[in-house]
Amino acid sequence: MLIVDSVQHAKAGHAGMALGMAEVAYFLYRHAMRYNSTSPKWFNRDRFVLSAGHACLLQLRLKTQSKVVERKLKMENLAKIEDLKCLCKLGSRTPGYPENVVTQGIEVTTGPLGQGVVNAVGLALAEANLGARYNKPDVAVVDHRTTDLALSEDISARFEALGWNTITIDNSQGNLDAFKNALISAHCETRKPTFIRFPIIPGAVVHCLLKTIIGKLSKKEGSSKAHHGTFDDDDVKQMKQKVKWNDREPFHVIPMVYREMQAQIDLGGRLEQEWNSKLNYYQNKYPEEAAEFKLLVADGMIPGWESSFPKWSMSDPVDSTGGYSGKCLNALAKVLPGLIGGSADLASSNQAYLHNLGDFKQPDSPWGQNIRYGVREHAMAGISNGLALHGGGLIPFAATFLVFSDYMKNSVRLSALSHAGVLYILTHDSVGIGEDGPTHQPIEHLSGLRAIPHLLLFRPADGKETAGAYKVAANVEGALADVVGKGGYIVSDNSEKELPEIILIGTGSELCLCEASANVLRKEGTRVRVVSLVCRRLFDRQPRDYKEFVLPSSVSKRVSVEAGLPLGWKEYVGDEGIATGIDDFGYSGPYSEVFNKYGFTEENVTKTTKSLLTK
């Protein structure tokens, strides 16, 4: 009835699945899950994920049913009964979909359907990896479970074909004993993940496909009409009669429920105390492992990590930025034990592989820090979000070609929305990929990714900028003093005390074209400034004085050079400037010939610059 009252009061929301799964969710939160609602960030808590995020009323109503939480703690962001009355209202802690940055106790923002399952895999993978690295035969400090609950089509056969142990429960008549027995049965399966949408084995995903009735008790019961929206007055009246709720005010909670959830809170407090005692024992017996584990859980960084990057000099052989990236990634891995990730079957091309740190494999080597995702970009990014939001200090990286970022765009967007610290390594970032042609040559992708709020997109030009980008990506606050951390900076300028006559702005490999053109123009007596705009969003955040110092407003003649869609560059080159880019799909051919076709040569940049200077 709390579910019904919430959607009726808000005149919005999804009640269908929440009504159908009410008994199951109550059983999970009261009897199956280990968590402490007075300490929602306790590390060793069980994690609950909704694949069908619109059913978040299941979570929200369960998180309101303790008077201890509601009356005594008044914890910021922890939902209370009053919050249910604000369902879907602007600024409330009870949005229409679960938001981990809005409501305490929500583990991940599941977003569009299909995200929750891979998020849960990432959470479970984090458990398995951390457990394999830090648990000891006599003490396990990582033994929690990820629980993923979803209502879907009958996909048992699909999961069985993928090698899962599958259990199907008919809960249409509230058969909770069958659900309990299924959980007990899952304990016996130690090598396969079990499909009940519920992991019992630490580090293994256990899912449960439950046959329930959508919109249970209402006139819409069993139909798609129950998915979303309110109920008419007669329907609400009949539902109240069915559960003997006639004389109760909206948002009423019976005392028994408060007592039951209070009992769970008492249990949760004891569970956390027991785990803290276990951690103290672990620290005394295994001090080195405990120090690293506690640093990870606290999201700490090993002091001096930023000095671990390779040092490059002008005499070193020139490498691709992808090559520099691989060297930086492996240098980081030596000082950041939380680094873990994979490359969507492209490790040999994008250099995103951690040497000597093994492959994550169940059950052989769950301690490995390289994940063999295969060609599954969407799953890779969704799993990375789960790894990042697990709270175990893991820093996931997900690598592929830039053009394939389209396959994982929703998950990348949710990384930004969820404040999940995922490193996306996107190589082969222009038509310079050459012979593979338009299908592999990204054009609009830089613009599309730059449009995502809060996402920091770096397009480094050399080894130093690549290292600078990694410093910011690994720890934003600690690296903003670096020029790359400012997003844009002056690479070269022969203007001395005068202002430049023209400014060339480049990113990535095209920055060298700007520098080569500038050298030609300088020999002819032109004052030229070259600026690297490695990360627009960070540059935009800088103080006005710094931005004016790099790009003086009085210098209106500007040329940007980037082998991608010119969208957005007018903001930096101005009305009188020229944005050199590509608004076509590219061609197959040697990279130099493709670059030449689109004007990405020193000669063409110089020609464009001279044409602007003579206006």
CATH number (domain holding residue 534): 3.40.50.920
Residue where one domain finishes, among candidates 439, 474, 509: 474
Question: Which residue segment(s) compose the domain that 109 sits in?
Answer: 2-113+200-265
Q: Are 247 and 54 in contact (CB under 8 A)?
A: no
What number is the average pLDDT over the span 22-37? 86
* 71 domain residue, yes or no: yes
Distance CA 570, CA 577 (A): 7
Average pLDDT over residues 574-587: 94
Do 452 and 512 form a contact (C-beta atoms < 8 A)? no
Given a cut of 70, whether residue 197 has pLDDT beyond it is: no
> Catalytic residue positions?
377
Do 464 and 495 reside in the same domain of the chain? no
> What letter represents residue 536's amino acid?
R
Summarised one tens digit per residue, pLDDT across range 134-185 is: 999 999 999 998 886 544 455 677 778 878 778 777 654 556 777 778 777 7
Residue 135 located in a structural domain: no
Q: Which pLDDT does position 151 carry in this prediction?
A: 43
pLDDT at 413: 95
Number of compact structural domains in the chain: 3
Does residue 224 lie within any of the structural domains?
yes
CATH number, residue 71 = 3.40.50.970
Q: Quick one: 347 and 427 in the same domain? A: yes
Clarify whether residues 433 and 465 are in a common domain: yes
Q: 508-519 pLDDT, tens per residue?
A: 999 999 999 999
Band (204; pLDDT cuts 50, 70, 90):
very low
Strands 528-532 and 489-493: antiparallel
pLDDT score recorded for residue 157: 77
pLDDT of amino acid 75: 43
Has residue 192 been placed in a domain?
A: no
Is the model more confident about 68 or about 164? 164
Mean pLDDT of the 427-432 span: 93
Please state whether 331 falls in left (phi above 0), alpha (psi between -120 and 50) or beta.
Answer: alpha
Single pTM value for the model: 0.88
Q: What is the mean pLDDT of residues 272-294?
A: 97
DSSP E strand stretches across 103-167: 146-149, 165-166
Q: Which of the listed ranges 146-150, 195-199, 522-526 does the model predict with the highest average pLDDT? A: 522-526
pLDDT tens digits, 3-25? 899 999 999 888 888 888 888 88
Q: What percent of the chain has pLDDT over 70?
A: 90
Q: Do 93 and 211 share a domain, yes or no?
A: yes
Any domain includes 143: no
Q: Which of 474, 492, 519 is a domain's end point?
A: 474
User: Is 22 contained in some domain?
Assistant: yes
- CB 447 within 8 Å of CB 459: no
Residue 52 DSSP one-character state: S
Which of 426, 445, 474 terminates a domain? The answer is 474
Tell me: do 440 and 516 sit in the same domain.
Answer: no
pLDDT in tens, 438-497: 999 999 999 999 999 999 999 999 999 999 999 998 874 444 457 899 999 999 999 999
| Domain shared by 513 and 603, yes or no | yes
